[in-house]
Structure formats: structure tokens, C-alpha cells
Amino acid sequence: MRNILVEELKQVPIEEQKVEIVERKGIGHPDTICDSIMNEISVNLSKEYLKRFGFIPHHNIDKALLSAGEVQNRFNGGVIKKPMRLIIGDRATFVVDNKVIPVKEIAIHTAKKWFKDNLRFVDPEKHVKYQVELKQVSAALSEIFKEKSKILKANDTSAVIGYAPMSMTEKMVLNTEKFLNSKEFKKEFPETGEDVKVMGFRKNDDLNLTVVMAFIDKFISSEEVYFRRKEEVIEALNDFVRSNCNFKNISIAFNTLDERGKGAAGLYLTVNGTCADGADSGQVGRGNRVNGVIPLNRPTSSEAAAGKNPVSHVGKIYNALAFKIADEIYKGVSGLREVYVWLLSQIGKPIDQPTVAAAQLILEKGGSLEKIKKEVRETIDSELENISEFCKDLAQGKIPIC
């Protein structure tokens, strides 16, 4: 019997609260770069382990620092004076049955491919240096992975939370970044970089978006050209936002640090479309939650999901699973406004047997907890029963984590 608790949450739903704040860091943001690459390294290592040995041994590729480079921004094209440095750290299994796995080579190859596939103007050979600090796993934790059971033991004690549904503000912040980084938008505005940050602030029925997006200096010949293209971007952004939501009033602020009369120094210019090329560094765990946003009104876990192993580390498994369970409950059980799902693991216990799995439900007016409690429990139990299949999807990279 799993320890599954279901209770009613006496709380004002997010949509009815006066103030809501939501953030989204885009694909070219230094923190998102770290999360994305570390998770991709874990996925590729997992595939290699499975191919060679039929199982996934211990690894956690969840520590990383993208140290900013140094550039000189100029109209018509700046200069890279010092490349970015990506430091890849934590633990991996280097040898299984006396067979050596090329962990360092896989990590670097994965990082280079990610840069090439996602940041149009970053040359992974010239613009980034790679420093791999992955060490051999500890003996105690590696023992967990030698068990023959399909369900492994948790290799950490961790608590996470997921929720459903996303609010209109959360969806708008998420979709705005996706719009600005879409292929269609980049085709129309090739001078805009992938480093995008969207901050949404809702007050009652009014939405304020603050958007920051890097421009690429080789496309900008003068201050006049920058501000003209900036206005065109703002117009396209306004059209998108206003046609995709129904807030009473909408205001959008864009690249608010820009200052006329200072030339290139007064504009948000980058050489390669990310501020990591010469301004800001990035780290794993500082970016989006697994549902793609940073929701300041919601309870969140301190666990970083990116890069952790997909078969035993609950910081990754439970993080993603909690959101899936919440979504399944919300879609499948009638009479709910919001669902919050908490999962707590204990190191050494099977991952399908959390210390507690708790659902907190905000009911529709007149709803009855007793009428739906059994259905909610069954949904949670079913998802935990099928956790091995969920872990396989994580290992294959089928479930996004940022």
C-alpha cells in the first residue's frame, strides 16, 4: 500500500489572486543553456549505457557553469576577444565490466551539437571552451544501480511539487518566448538572438510583460537601424500577445535599458545572440521549472532536474512526474480548479514507493472532496505503478525539463 494522501486546499486560485508574477528564460539564456546541455549529456550517456550494457548505471550531470566570454560589440559586427567556457561537472560511471565509456568525449560532443542546433551564430569550435570535471561515482551510490529490479531505489532524499493547470499568465509568458524564438520569427527578424527573457506581471485583469532580447551586432549598422528594427519587433510582439490572450489591458516593455545617443554601448547588442558571449554567466538550476516557467506565486522545489540520472534520482524523476500526475488528475477528475501534487522520497527506498504522495485540491464551488478522493488516489497510484515506463521516456529525452 502506497502512502497517498488527498486533501482539500482552502486557497484562492491563482487566477483570482490580485497579483501574479511569472518568468521565462529562453533557450539562449545562459542558465537555460546550462540546463539544456547537461540534460542532453545525461540523455546521450543513458543511451550509450543502454546500448552497451542494457542498463543505466549511476551518473549525475547536474553541475555546470557557463562562464561568460569577452567581446567588443560594434555596428556591422563585433569581435570575440575571449570565448565562453562551459564547465561540466559532478559524477558519471566511466567503467562497466572492465569496459571504458568515453564519458568526456560524449559530454563535449553533446555540448557542441547542442550549440550548433540551437544557437545560430555560436560556432561550438571557436566560441566555446570545454572543461569536463566529471568524476567517478561513489561506491555507495553505485551499488543501487547493480540491482536487477526494474524499480531502483532512490539515491537521494528529496521533496518536489507539481501543479495543474497553468494559469493564463503562465501560458502567455511561456508562449511569448516560444514565439520570439520560433523559426518564423527569426526568419523575419534574423538580427534577434536566442537570449530572451520574459517577465510577466498580472494585476487583476491587466498584464504587463517586460521582454529582454539580445540583438546581433553584425545585422545592425547604426543606432538608427537598431531602434527602427526594435519598433518593428515591438509591433510584431504586440500583435502576437493581443491576439493570443484576453486580458483587459496589456502593456509591453522591451529592452528598457537601451539609451539613445550612446552608440553601440547604449544598446543590447551581442556578437552571437546570447549575453553569455560577453556579459552574464549561467548555472544549472537557476532557470525554468520543468513546466517551462518560473512561477513565483506557486510553491516550488529547490531541486534542479536537469542532468540528474533518469532511473534513480528523484530530483529529476519526481520533479517531472509530479507535474504529470497533477495534469492527469486535473484532466481526468471533474470539479477541480487547481491541483498540487507533492512527492517525497527517502534515500534507499524504491522510487515507486515515496514516503508520501500528497494531492492538494482546490475544488469548484459546491464540490465534494469525498466524491472524488478515490479517483484521485487511483490516478496517483497508477502513475507510480508505471514509473518504470516514465523513467524510460526521461532517459530517451522525450520529456522536457526546462
Amino acid at 256: T
DSSP structure string for 327-365: HHHHHHSSSEEEEEEEEE--TTSBTTS-SEEEEEEEEPT
Per the rule left: phi > 0, alpha: psi between -120 and 50, beta: everything else, 348 is: left
pLDDT band at 301 (very low <50, low <70, confident <90, very high): confident
Domain of 254 in residue numbering reads as: 15-25+168-282
For residue 79, which of 279, 219, 282, 272 has the smallest C-alpha distance? 272
C-alpha cell of residue 119: 544557437
Mean pLDDT over all residues of the chain? 95
Which pLDDT score is estimated for 137?
Answer: 82
- How confident is the model over 17-32, as pLDDT tens digits? 999 999 999 999 999 9
Q: Is residue 354 scored above 70 in pLDDT?
A: yes
Distances (CA, A) of 190 to 54, 229, 230, 282: 44, 11, 12, 24
Determine what percent of the chain is predicted with pLDDT higher than 90.
Answer: 91
- How confident is the model over 63-117, as pLDDT tens digits? 999 999 999 999 999 999 999 999 999 999 999 889 999 999 999 999 999 999 9
Residue 376, in any domain of the structure: no
- How confident is the model over 266-276, as pLDDT tens digits? 999 999 999 99
CB 67, CB 30: distance < 8 Å: no
b/e string for 121-158 if b means 16 or more Cβ within 10 A? Answer: bbebeebbebebebeebeeebbebbeeeeebbbbbbeb
Q: Is residue 61 scored above 80 in pLDDT?
A: yes
Average pLDDT on 184-206 reads 98
Which pLDDT score is estimated for 179?
Answer: 98
Which pLDDT score is estimated for 146?
Answer: 64
Which pLDDT score is estimated for 309?
Answer: 94
Task: For the beta carbon of residue 324, count every other beta carbon within 10 angstroms.
Answer: 18
What are the φ and ψ backbone dihedral angles of 31, each rounded to 5 degrees? -70, -40
CB 217, CB 264: distance < 8 Å: yes
Residue 240, in any domain of the structure: yes
Which pLDDT score is estimated for 277?
Answer: 94
- How confident is the model over 275-286, as pLDDT tens digits? 999 999 999 999
Give pTM, 2 decimals.
Answer: 0.94
CB half-sphere exposure, 205, CA atoms < 13 A: 4
For residue 377, which of 3, 9, 4 has the smallest C-alpha distance? 4
Residue 276, in any domain of the structure: yes
CATH code of residue 218: 3.30.300.340
Number of domains in the chain: 1
42's CB contacts (< 8 A; 6+ apart) are: 59, 60, 61, 62, 306, 307, 308, 309, 310
pLDDT band at 303 (very low <50, low <70, confident <90, very high): confident
Residue 56, in any domain of the structure: no
Residue 338, in any domain of the structure: no
Average pLDDT on 341-351 reads 95
2's CB contacts (< 8 A; 6+ apart) are: 352, 353, 354, 357, 380, 381, 384
pLDDT band at 173 (very low <50, low <70, confident <90, very high): very high
Residue 225, in any domain of the structure: yes
Which pLDDT score is estimated for 248?
Answer: 95
- How confident is the model over 215-243, as pLDDT tens digits? 999 999 999 999 999 999 999 999 999 99
CB 56, CB 94: distance < 8 Å: no
Which pLDDT score is estimated for 141?
Answer: 58
- How confident is the model over 103-161, as pLDDT tens digits? 999 999 999 999 999 999 999 999 999 999 999 987 665 666 666 567 888 988 999 99
Distance, C-alpha 196 to centroid of its chain: 14
Residue 362, in any domain of the structure: no
Distance, C-alpha 326 to centroid of its chain: 18
Residue 134, in any domain of the structure: no
Which pLDDT score is estimated for 266?
Answer: 96
Radius of gyration of the chain (CA): 23
Determine what percent of the chain is predicted with pLDDT higher than 70.
Answer: 97
